[in-house]
Amino acid sequence: MQREQEFNTIDDVFNLIRDELRDAEAAYTGYLQTNVSLIPKISEHIILSGGKRLRPALLILTMRMLGGAPGSGTALAAVIEFIHTATLLHDDVVDEADMRRGLAAANAIWGNEASVLVGDFLFSTAFDLAVDQRNIAILKALSSATRRLAEGEILELMRTADVDTTETDYRKIIEGKTAVLMAAACECGALLAGDDPGRQEKMRSYGLHAGMAFQIIDDILDYTSREEALGKSIGIDLEEGKLTLPLIRVLEQAAPAERERVRDIILADFVSPEDFSQVLDLIRKYRGIEFSTARATEHVEAARELLADMPASPYRGALDFLARYIVNRDR
Ligand code: FPP
Ligand code: MG
C-alpha cells in the first residue's frame, strides 16, 4: 500500500494539487472576459479577493484520489467556484453586508442591482461551462445542488428572528445553503473519475458532512472570532436575526426571563455591544460553543470514516486533513 503523506498545514494540501489549482485560477479570469466591463470588474473583485478555494480543492482531490487524469477537473473547478461566488454576491445583498474577505462587499461599492445581475451572470456562465462536459450526471448533481441551495437560503429567511427555530430547522438550513454545494463538488470529482456509484455516493456524503461542519464552525466564528481574522464583521448573525446553533442551544436551555431577553435583542433593529456581550454570556453559561463544536466534530468524524473505503493515496490523506482543518480553522 502506498504510504500516506503527512499534512501539517492547509498549504500542504494546496501544494499537492498546486498545478491544477493554478490552471483553475487562470480559468476563472479567462471565462469572465466580456465586453461588458462591469462583469469582469465586479466578478474579479470578489473572485480574486482571497477565497479559500475549498470547493475546487474538494473536487480535484476527489477526482485524483479516484484515478481521474490531472487537468481534467479545471473547467468544473471553475464551475463550482462560480456557483459559490454567485451565491455570495446574492447573499451579501440579502444580508446587506458591507464586508467580505476583508474588502468592501460588492453591493457596498456597486449597489444591489449590479451585484445581483453579475451574480446571475456567474451562475449562468457556470451552467454554460458545465454543459460543455456533456455529462448528464454532472449536470444533475449541479442543478439539484443549486436548487437545494436556494431552498436553504429561503428557509433561513423564513426563520429569521424566530426564537422557536429548532436544531432540526438549523440543520436543514445549513445543509441547503452550504453543505449541498460541497457535496456536489465531491460528487462531480467522483463522476469525472468515472468511478462506481457506491463511491460517488460516499464522496457526496463526505462533502455533505464536511459542509455541515464547515457552516457550524462559520457560525461559531461569528461569535468568537475577530474581524481582522475573519475578513468580515462579527456578531452579524445576531444583528440579522439569524439563529445559529450556539444561540439555538441557549434558547433550548435558558430560563424564561433569559429567553425573553434574547428575543428582545433579536427583534431589535440594532444590537448594542452590551446586548452582544449579554448574549455571549448566555452562550458561555449554556456552553453553546462547546455544544456546537461537538456537533461539528461529529460531522468531521463521519466524513473521515467515509474515506476509509477509498483507495489510499496522498489525495485521500489530503481529504482527511481538510476535514480536520475545517474545525480547527480561524477564518
Ligand atoms: C452564506 O451564508 C450563504 C450562502 C453560502 C448561500 C447563499 C445562497 C443564496 C443567496 C441563494 C442562491 C443563489 C443562487 C445563485 C443559486 P452566511 O450569510 O451565513 O455566510 P457569510 O457570513 O459568509 O455571509
Ligand atoms: Mg451572509
pLDDT digit string, tens, across residues 16-51: 999 999 999 999 999 998 999 999 999 999 999 888
Would you give the distance in Å from CA 47 to the centre of its chain? 14
pLDDT at 1: 42
Cell of 82: 462560480
- What gap in Å lies between CA 213 and CA 209, rounded to an integer? 6
First to last CA, the chain: 35
pLDDT at 230: 67
**Residues in the chain with pLDDT < 70?**
1-4, 227-228, 230, 232
CA distances for 316 relative to 16, 153, 312, angstroms = 11, 31, 6
Classified as helix, coil or strand, 32 is: coil
Closest ligand 1 atom to residue 215 Cα is: 19
Burial (0-12, 13-18, 19+ Cβ within 10 Å), 30: exposed
Taking phi first (over 0 means left), then psi (-120 to 50 degrees means alpha), and beta for anything else, what does residue 188 get?
alpha
**Do 244 and 277 touch, CB atoms closer than 8 A?**
no
Q: How many CB atoms lie within 10 A of CB 177?
A: 22
Would you give the distance in Å from CA 256 to the centre of its chain? 34
**Do 251 and 163 touch, CB atoms closer than 8 A?**
yes
pLDDT at 125: 97
Handedness of CA 310, 313, 314, 315 (dihedral sign): negative
Q: Determine whether domain 10-328 maps to CATH 3.30.565.10.
A: no
Cβ of 123 closer than 6 Å to ligand 1, yes or no, is yes
Ligand 2 centroid–CA 99 distance in Å is 10
Closest ligand 1 atom to residue 154 Cα is: 11
Handedness of CA 235, 240, 246, 247 (dihedral sign): positive
Ligand nearest to the CA of 222: 1
Ligand 1 centroid–CA 145 distance in Å is 13
Ligand 2 centroid–CA 16 distance in Å is 31
**Do 245 and 222 touch, CB atoms closer than 8 A?**
no
Closest ligand 1 atom to residue 90 Cα is: 10
pLDDT at 3: 54
